[in-house]
Chain A
Amino acid sequence: MSTEAAGFEELRDLYQEVILDHGRRPRNHLRLDPCDASARGDNPMCGDRVELFLRFAPDGRIARAAFLGRGCAVSQASASLLTETVPGLTPAEAKALAARLREMARTGARDESTEALARLSALSGVHEFPSRVKCATLAWHALEAALDGVKEASSE
């Protein structure tokens, strides 16, 4: 039974309460109109989709983030957490955060050195599920695309 229990533990690592909560009740789930930047992320293999909208403050920092989308709990929770985390960051800081998030999803190495990363550490459990890593990173690919002025991104 021990390996079975371990399997269930991993399931709880992936579907932590914060993920389930954001998956069921995504925050900032709306279209920002007008917005200063937007991009759509598609995962063609599974049909997950995240459309991300950003507004910037006069000093260039991200003032507001929101998204629309469809997909699994992980992809939608990750997008929801993103919209709560990036306001207040400069575009360069947001891109650095996206890179750290992708690394965390791939390796499972938790990094709680900043408040933003600590919030997102719930997404690190995905590394035990290689086929699901792209679910966690989809919104972050869209974020990078939006900041780079690209309209479409893919997590493939």
Chain B
Amino acid sequence: MDAAPARLDVARVRQDFPILATTVHGRPLVFLDSGASAQKPRAVIEAMTRCMETAYANVHRGAYRLSELATEAYEAARAAAQRFLGAEHAEEIVFTRNSTEAFNLVAHSFGRALLKPGQAVLVSEMEHHANLVPWQMLRDAGRGIGLRVVRVTDQGELDLDDLARHLSRGDVGLVSVTHMSNVLGTVTPASAIARMAHAAGARVMFDGSQAAVHRAVDVRAIGADFYAFTGHKLYGPTGIGVLYARRELLEAMPPFLGGGDMIETVTLERSTWAAPPARFEAGTPAIVEAVGLHAAIDYVNALGMEAIEAHERDLVEHACATLAQVKGLALLGAPQDRGGVFSFALEGVHPHDLATFLDRRGICVRAGRHCAEPLHARFGLEGGTARASFGLYTTRGEIDALAAALDAARGFFA
């Protein structure tokens, strides 16, 4: 195979996404909400259709050709996710519904069985609710497991000094933080965080929902014990997510959900658990969605994660320069290493009014608190922000269109 191309041919890439040719309110679609959910390339759509038309049956069950084909496709998707994350073993990949389910799985299984009373989980102020609420539920389950929060600096960076202070108390069992903030765009220093956590005897989990889309991820290089991402933000379908966990951890963890496929033997009195990853995949899994995720991973790999990252760094640089020219615009955070996510407040215009105004110009942005209410409170923006987030198909021209529309919005409202 040839080396990944150094540059992304964005015009050509855009032709792979049928929805980008549509219009909204008579305007060309300018989709700047990929951080919430990304659009789908034809390769993903067709792979899922092909699976249902030619190779669909339940997996791990039927001793017949179609079921074998479906099982092969499902396990091939697992192997693709393994390679995508740089995991050592395919058995370290558990398919979940999304990142949220991955956090719930770890909180419920690892949290209840392997954390000890008196230990604490450490999250940060910039977590998505998916990496906060499951730990609050664990804390409140009466098992004596605490929950503490690492501060975020005014620049929007994880405060590593504060992380060190918390770890020095010696009671932290798990550090669970984002690898890239869905609000600030901050890419966190994952391997440094993992080193600090391990030195303090803690395990470490990363929320890769945003990071895995924008950067090449290598869980072994990072030193992650757990790593979660979701298919639908990676240009794949909804309903499929990935939890990576070190094999020895998964082997020590009890099941999350009970049912078919996750057992070894069952009598009416008791059951014994299957080995990982089957232990954590109760019931019929998202077979077609796994095939779609595989196609999405193949798609971004063919473009090259390095080429995607380079394109997005160019977009981030352009957006920083362009948005700085918009009068009355205040960006949330100014991290050194930023992925393609910008949250902002526009003087005199409420984010929801702004989102409605932009929509009439074909521009899709998210308005609100982006499932990160505590972070907005920390920056004194309880009313929320508007957020533009980029995908591999985003162009400089779309950022210019956003900036022009923001100026127009101030004229309209303020």
Contact = CB atoms under 8 A, between A and B. Distances in A.
Interface of A: 1-8, 10-11, 14-15, 20, 23, 45-48, 70-74, 129, 131-132, 135
B25 interface: yes
Interface in B14-44: 23, 25-27
A10 B24 CA distance: 14
The 4 closest A-B pairs by CB, nearest first: A3-B26, A7-B25, A4-B26, A72-B350
Given A46-B367, A71-B350, A14 B356 contact: yes
Contacts of A135: 352
A71 B381 CA distance: 11
A135 to B, nearest CB: 7
A66 B23 CA distance: 43
Given A11-B360, A14-B356, A132-B356, A73 B25 contact: no
A71 to B, nearest CB: 7
Contacts of B413: 15, 20, 23, 73
B151 interface: no
Nearest to B352: A72
Contact of A47 (B23, B356, B360, B383): B383
B368 A6 contact: no
Contact of B382 (A7, A8, A70): A70
B368 A46 contact: yes
B412 interface: yes
Nearest to A8: B360
12 contacts: A2-B26, A4-B25, A4-B27, A6-B25, A47-B368, A47-B369, A47-B382, A70-B382, A71-B350, A71-B352, A71-B383, A132-B356
A73 B353 contact: yes
Contacts of A10: 360
A113 to B, nearest CB: 29
A132 B26 contact: no
In this complex, which of A23, A71, A72 has the most chain B Cβ atoms within 10 angstroms of its Cβ? A72
B384 interface: yes
B352 A7 contact: no
A53 B412 CA distance: 31
A6 B26 contact: yes
A3 B25 contact: yes
A133 B353 CA distance: 12
Contacts of B373: 47
A8 B357 CA distance: 9
Nearest to B382: A47
B369 to A, nearest CB: 6
Contacts of B360: 7-8, 10-11
Interface in B313-355: 350-353
A60 to B, nearest CB: 36
A42 B160 CA distance: 36
B363 to A, nearest CB: 12
Contacts of B351: 72
B353 A72 contact: yes
Contacts of A2: 26
Contacts of B353: 15, 23, 72-74
